[in-house]
Structure 1
Amino acid sequence: MSNTVLQLPTRWSEQDRHPPLSVSADGRDLTFIGPSCVGDKDSAAARANHPIPPACGIYYYEVEILHKGSKGHISLGFSSPDVRLSRLPGWERQSWGYHADDGWSFPGHKDGNPYGPIFDTGDIIGCGVDFSQHRAFYTKNGTFLGMVFENVGKGHDLYPAVGLRHTTESVRVNFGHAPFKYAIEDHVHSQQNRVWADIQTTKINWDLLHGISKHEDMTDSRELYKPSVVEEDETKAPLRKLVLSYLAHHGYAKTAHAFQAQCERASFSRADEATDAKVEQDMDADDDQDQELRTRVDIVNAVLKGDIDTALEHTKQHFPTVLEREQGLMLFKLRCRKFVELIVEASEALKKVKQQPQSTVSQEPQQRGREPYPADVHTAAGEDVKMDGMDGEGAMDVDDPSHEARPYPSASSSTVSVSTFSTTADSVASVPKPRQASRSPSTSMRPTSPHAAAAKAALHTALQYGQTLEADYKHDVRPEIRAHLKRTFGVVAYTDPVAAGGEIADMAGQEARVRLGNELNQAILESQGKPVHPALEMLYRQSAACITQLGLLNVGSAAFADMPKEFLEG
């Protein structure tokens, strides 16, 4: 169901109109079909089907005058839902209108004021409201006529509204159905710059950040940040702490030290109370806090490089509780990643075999979008190298667990069974199973090149590790474990998982390393009693949430505080 709070007008309402007005089938045309109104008090008005959401910041629509009629008593503008439909917009409270016959504007009563030119048949009149100022504006044939009215739409719903008075008067609205005559995008951009400039020049009450400065998230930066005797500007100290805590949180140790050094050099230079040598001495201090930061950085970098063994070893040594929490969930994810890395390594080794000079690779047509494994690789010496563990077709299926699943032949002279990838009946892990071979698989491998030997060894290592991984977790019935195992073992079915695309590539590629590294980093911080997210990031998220809430509370300026554009995309 759509959020009606943010729904925009799309047509004239069939219900919210005076009977003499006829609405076209597409809801865009309004025509006066009854007898002309007599007297100043009689008229016929219609409103759009939805109110204007102030969260849009600036709202704009255009009306083409299809037929002005004999007198041109047409009023274009806005009104609340309580305004009588027998009155022109602008003649009653909570309504605003610009009239065709005299060019006057009417701010909720019949005592209007000169505003713009009259308009006639064929003219296109634009009607806009700026919720950051609660003022309206109009355009004529693409020309801006100026701001007008006060307190427009303040404290009540606001609808686009049109009023007609005489037979054959007719208008056609553009609620965004077609390009506008007026360059409204430039108008919005100009207003956005003005509002953002006001935000940037607003003085910050840093006392509000005192609670954040005492937050545990500052722990990583306390030793890095040593306030100078004289600060360039006291208001910059909290910002520096926020930046340093962010850098420390994400492991940018060198950047954090360089940033602090620059801040201290500038401060000491002004105060003339220290030297660069003193700054360097302070920056070179090796304390427990800095060592912990470097260790965490090394662990995360090891994951990003695919060196899972190093990440596991250092985590177990320095942060053992991380691997024990949640019944060893992080340990499980790291081990699954190691299996993926081994499969990717085997894939790279197979590529080198295929790329040997004068080599040919026997391949059958691809099935289900998979590139087949090479069944035979003919080396430059003309000798066959059989890749055991692959059937004659050279490809593998990944099926549900089955009692009929056949084990793969070994990648060496001994048999390496991968049927152990199958799990109990309630397991969701998939089972690699070869398709029917077109010829008998070889029971041995006669490598004649280092590449072939490396491919054999890499494949053997990966399959053996997969056996151990499946065996260690086959009795773990947690849904997240079963699902993750299934995704992990799925990479076995592809000769090049990274290039396979889709979920397989996502599982095998660098992005998966980044996600796991971030997750491990957060787990380490949490195990140390530190927040999962740095204070600067929390402030950004809180600010973004506040802006969204302000928009829903009809604060029009919130629409112009585009944080992603100003802070992330710029």
Structure 2
Amino acid sequence: MRPQCGIYYFEMRVISKGDDGYIGIGFCGTDNKLNRLPGWDEGSWGYHGDDGHSFAGCGIGKGYGPSFTTGDTVGCGVNFADNTAFYTKNGMFLGTAFNSIKTSTPLFPCVGLRTPREVVTVNFGQDAFAFDIVQYLNDQKGTLWKTVVEDREETPKAGNEPKIEPYQVNLDQLILSYLVHHGYTGTAKAFLKDKSYVCDTSLCIADAKLAWFTGENSQADEENDMSQRQRIRTALISGQVDRAIELTQKYFPGVLDENGKGEQIMFELKCRKFVEMMSDYTEQEHALRRKNEAGSISEDDRLSIGSSDVLGSICGDEAEVLDGVGRRKPMPICTTSTSSSTPVSASGRRLSYAAIAASVSPTSSSGFHAISVSPTGTPSLNGSESTDIDEGISIVNRRTRRLSTRRSSSSSSSGFSMCSSGLLSYELTLEEEDEDERLEHGSTASLMRQVMKYGQQLQEGYRKSEKPRVRERLTELFSLLAYPDPSASPVACLMDKSGRDALATELNAAILVHQNYPEIPPLERIYRQTLVSRRELAFDGHGKAALISFDEQCAVHSLSN
């Protein structure tokens, strides 16, 4: 039972109480005898089912809870935060059974059986518990956190010493230093104004970087410095890497040229530019794919024919009409004067009607042939007898042409008609490749060429680098090119926009170090120190530290606010 877990809990289900039901559940040390029920010997604690008594290292028990028998589920928990133990029965909390447990020595869960035919099973978490241990754990965390953040009484001052608020002033100063460090100029000014108005206090700012607020140094210079760093951060967070590099070299020359930190930041900026280019390409590909999927089922790709007397339909690769008695018959398509069969593709499959229509050479004023189909299925050409029809079918690609239909009230030289006790006229109109679509394809192709070109430049620029991290980073980045959709690949995390903020913070720290200021603000240093201290205490077996989670508490307060 490791103290690092904070609260240890397990359950026992009684399958059969046997002859007398002398069954015990609890925990003990390494030196306890296994032929004795838990709680009878020193260093052992137990709860017995025959009488409901609790035993704490002696053979004389104390009244604690109800007895338990066949079919009951009994749980045992040890709270290392306050060194207590508790029991549950059938999901109900029975209260604290033991206090001041010695947790300095290793403890182990144990159950004891004394009479024949006693059968139990033990659940260490492989199955759902009858007791809601998660809610109990959350309650204990909440109680412990209240003791951490509760208000402390001020230490009385002797004589006429002024009354000083020991926490608030220091806390305000920490917050202010954090805002200034990251360049949040407007927020810092508003914070100072609010404190001076509400609390009527003036902050003691010892950091020279904050001196412009007090007027000791040039306020304009310090404010301008913060504004410049904020502009660099804004550019980088918005994905404008080149702009961020340009501003850095303009306002803080030499930062990216320094050996060590500066060179590393410059390399990461170039890598981020590659990631942003890949993100732009992926987003445009997604947009184009969505547009194509929507267009594939649009009305422009459907051909429908209808009338009060005769109704025919042409859809996809098949074309049918209704004969005089209402039966469906294939509609023959006239192709050339030398062949009466329908054109087929190289695979032997009949071409779609759009492909067939695309092979017709324009002759009339509207640019299309007129084809007449009689009720008997015999095709004929309308219009000029000297009409030419292309014998070859050329399909540039699957997006080059679209076929749309338009219903007409009378026959014309630019349509084909089917006759059955009357004529229905249909006009087929071929549209050239959509100009916007062609531009979109060209745009994505151009983006990919730019990505490839920049990747080659990046690789060439660091080819001679002997740093393992540089080579690993480049290999990691170029793996994005191995997937058709990088955003859904195993390396999609590289394109996460949270990387922008992390890199912006790193660049801001490099600028401050270049100006001989602290790399990390005091508030962040305190937070990091607190995290490390809590983790070390938990590893050392401190139960309270194991129950405290700063990440959880910060998330809860953020949601509540």
Give the total of aligned pairs. Answer: 405
Determine which of 325, 348, 352 is the counterpart of 2:258. Answer: 325
SS at match of 1:326: coil
Residues in 1 aligned to 2:487 and 2:282: alpha-carbon distance in whole angstroms? 12
Native 8 Å contact 2:232 2:244 kept in 1: yes
Q: Structure 1 pair 490/544, CA: closer, same or farther in 2 (3 Å)? A: closer
Residues in 1 aligned to 2:126 and 2:264: alpha-carbon distance in whole angstroms? 52
Q: Structure 1 pair 325/555, CA: closer, same or farther in 2 (3 Å)? A: same
1:60 match? 9
**2:49 equivalent to 1:116:** no
1:563 match? 550
* Deviation by residue 1:260-294 (Cα, 9 ceiling, x = unmatched): 22111112399xxxxxxxx9997998343332222
> Deviation of residue 191 (structure 1)?
2.1
Determine which of 529, 535, 546 is the counterpart of 2:533. Answer: 546
Residues in 2 aligned to 1:161 and 1:504: alpha-carbon distance in whole angstroms? 47
1:291 match? 224
**2:461 equivalent to 1:528:** no
1:182 match? 131
Residues in 2 aligned to 1:135 and 1:180: alpha-carbon distance in whole angstroms? 20
Residues in 1 aligned to 2:285 and 2:23: alpha-carbon distance in whole angstroms? 78
**2:243 equivalent to 1:256:** no
Q: Structure 1 pair 189/472, CA: closer, same or farther in 2 (3 Å)? A: closer
Q: Answer with 110-119 or 336-345: which moved more.
A: 336-345
* Deviation by residue 1:520-558 (Cα, 9 ceiling, x = unmatched): 122222323334333222222222222222222222222
Determine which of 50, 54, 73 is the counterpart of 1:101. Answer: 50
* Deviation by residue 1:49-86 (Cα, 9 ceiling, x = unmatched): xxx11222222222222222333322221111111223
> Deviation of residue 330 (structure 1)?
2.7
Native 8 Å contact 1:322 1:330 kept in 2: no
* Deviation by residue 1:140-197 (Cα, 9 ceiling, x = unmatched): 2222222122222432111112222222222221222322222222322222222111
Native 8 Å contact 1:65 1:122 kept in 2: yes
SS at match of 1:290: helix
Native 8 Å contact 1:231 1:237 kept in 2: no
SS at match of 2:27: strand
What do you get for the CA RMSD once the two structures are aligned? 4.4
| Alignment of structure 1 residues 298-313 onto 2, 5 Å | 298-313=231-246
Residues in 2 aligned to 1:343 and 1:155: alpha-carbon distance in whole angstroms? 56
Q: Structure 1 pair 547/166, CA: closer, same or farther in 2 (3 Å)? A: same
Residues in 1 aligned to 2:59 and 2:453: alpha-carbon distance in whole angstroms? 88
Residues in 1 aligned to 2:437 and 2:81: alpha-carbon distance in whole angstroms? 76
Native 8 Å contact 2:46 2:55 kept in 1: yes
Residues in 2 aligned to 1:69 and 1:291: alpha-carbon distance in whole angstroms? 83
Q: Structure 1 pair 259/160, CA: closer, same or farther in 2 (3 Å)? A: same
Residues in 2 aligned to 1:280 and 1:519: alpha-carbon distance in whole angstroms? 25
Q: Structure 1 pair 153/63, CA: closer, same or farther in 2 (3 Å)? A: farther
Q: Which residue identity is paired with 2:174?
A: L
* Deviation by residue 1:353-395 (Cα, 9 ceiling, x = unmatched): 9989xx99xxxxxxxxxxxxxxxxxxxxxxxxxxxxxxx99xx
1:235 match? 167
Residues in 1 aligned to 2:238 and 2:62: alpha-carbon distance in whole angstroms? 71
Instruction: Point out the structure with max Rg over C-alpha.
Output: 2
> Deviation of residue 130 (structure 1)?
1.6
> Deviation of residue 466 (structure 1)?
6.1
> Deviation of residue 239 (structure 1)?
1.0
Native 8 Å contact 1:257 1:283 kept in 2: no
Q: Which residue identity is paired with 2:524?
A: E
Native 8 Å contact 2:75 2:89 kept in 1: yes
Determine which of 29, 32, 38 is the counterpart of 1:89. Answer: 38
1:197 match? 146
1:148 match? 97
Given the two structures, how large is their TM-score scaled by the length of structure 2?
Answer: 0.61
**2:114 equivalent to 1:165:** yes
> Deviation of residue 93 (structure 1)?
0.8
* Deviation by residue 1:277-333 (Cα, 9 ceiling, x = unmatched): xx9997998343332222211112222233334322332233333212236333343
Q: Structure 1 pair 202/149, CA: closer, same or farther in 2 (3 Å)? A: farther
SS at match of 1:247: helix
Determine which of 500, 513, 518 is the counterpart of 1:513. Answer: 500
1:245 match? 177
Q: Answer with 452-461 or 507-516: which moved more.
A: 452-461
SS at match of 1:178: coil
Residues in 2 aligned to 1:143 and 1:448: alpha-carbon distance in whole angstroms? 67
Native 8 Å contact 1:61 1:174 kept in 2: yes
Structure 1 residue ranges without an equivalent (≥5): 1-51, 207-229, 271-278, 361-391, 394-445
Q: Structure 1 pair 92/447, CA: closer, same or farther in 2 (3 Å)? A: closer
Q: Which residue identity is paired with 1:322?
A: V
Q: Structure 1 pair 345/193, CA: closer, same or farther in 2 (3 Å)? A: closer
Q: Which residue identity is paired with 1:191?
A: Q
Structure 2 residue ranges without an equivalent (≥5): 156-161, 203-211, 297-395, 398-434
Native 8 Å contact 1:349 1:458 kept in 2: no
* Deviation by residue 1:80-100 (Cα, 9 ceiling, x = unmatched): 111122322111111112222
Residues in 1 aligned to 2:15 and 2:55: alpha-carbon distance in whole angstroms? 23
Q: Which residue identity is paired with 2:544?
A: S
Q: Which residue identity is paired with 1:164?
A: L
SS at match of 1:125: strand
> Deviation of residue 135 (structure 1)?
1.7
> Deviation of residue 504 (structure 1)?
6.7
| Alignment of structure 1 residues 262-411 onto 2, 5 Å | 262-268=194-200, 286-326=219-259, 328-338=263-273
Q: Which residue identity is paired with 1:256?
A: A
Native 8 Å contact 1:261 1:280 kept in 2: no
SS at match of 2:199: helix
Q: Structure 1 pair 241/568, CA: closer, same or farther in 2 (3 Å)? A: farther
- Determine what percentage of the aligned residue pairs are the same residue: 35
Native 8 Å contact 1:196 1:560 kept in 2: no
> Deviation of residue 346 (structure 1)?
7.5
> Deviation of residue 464 (structure 1)?
6.8
Residues in 2 aligned to 1:334 and 1:129: alpha-carbon distance in whole angstroms? 51
SS at match of 1:109: coil
**2:489 equivalent to 1:502:** yes
Residues in 2 aligned to 1:261 and 1:96: alpha-carbon distance in whole angstroms? 60
